[in-house]
């Protein structure tokens, strides 16, 4: 049976500025556990340097109340997806910075769930970073 290619996209306004978001995610991911402890519990660099091509980072995070681990380059997720790729894009539109999360994936079986909880995780994670910077 052929896999089913799918895409989910979410765009979140980010008051702290796209440069701040990019800097944290690309160059200081180890600080995300302090900024978003309910989402990220840690990250370990396994290869290369933070923010450089070819680096490998293992994340410890909580999704749907369950502790998870994943490497930055995700190839196969359980038995649900043949491939899963998450991309992040930061852009400014009309003076407002936006963080766009895109999840491209292939369902192995059309009855498998779409990764909506993962997309919601990224939306809430982005908002939590902003709250950490500005306060509640």
Q: Is the whole model's pTM more than 0.85, yes or no?
A: no
Order across the sheet with 81-93: list the strands: 4-13, 96-107, 81-93
Beta strand pairing call for 81-93 and 56-63: unpaired
Of 54 and 16, more confident: 16
Answer for the pair 103, 118: CB distance below 8 angstroms, yes or no. Answer: yes
Instruction: Quickly state the pLDDT bin for 86 (edges 50, 70, 90).
Output: confident
Query: Going from the N-terminus, what domains does the chain have, and what CATH number goes with each?
Result: 5-131 (3.30.530.20)
Residue 114 in this model has a pLDDT that exceeds 90: yes
Across 49-53, 76-80, 117-121, 122-126, least confident range? 76-80
Residue 38 in this model has a pLDDT that exceeds 70: yes
Residue 29 in this model has a pLDDT that exceeds 90: no
pLDDT tens profile 57-73: 888 999 899 998 887 65
Residue 54 in this model has a pLDDT that exceeds 80: no
Terminal alpha carbon distance of the chain? 49
- Provide the angle, in degrees to the nearest 10, between the axes of the packed helices 18-27 and 116-134: 110
pLDDT (0 to 100) of residue 75 = 39
């Amino acid at each position: 049976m052929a896999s089913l290619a799918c895409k989910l996209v979410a765009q979140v306004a980010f008051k702290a500025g796209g440069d701040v978001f990019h800097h944290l995610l690309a160059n200081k991911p180890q600080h995300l556990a302090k900024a978003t402890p309910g989402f990220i519990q840690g990250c370990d660099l396994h290869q290369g340097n933070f923010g450089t091509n070819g680096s490998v980072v293992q994340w410890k995070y909580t999704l749907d109340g369950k502790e998870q681990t994943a490497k930055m380059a995700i190839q196969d997720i359980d038995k649900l997806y043949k491939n899963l790729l998450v991309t992040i894009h930061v852009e400014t539109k009309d003076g407002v910075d936006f963080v766009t999360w895109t999840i491209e994936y292939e369902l192995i079986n059309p009855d498998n769930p779409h990764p909506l909880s993962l997309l919601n995780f990224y939306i809430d994670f982005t908002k939590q970073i902003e709250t950490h910077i500005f306060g509640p």
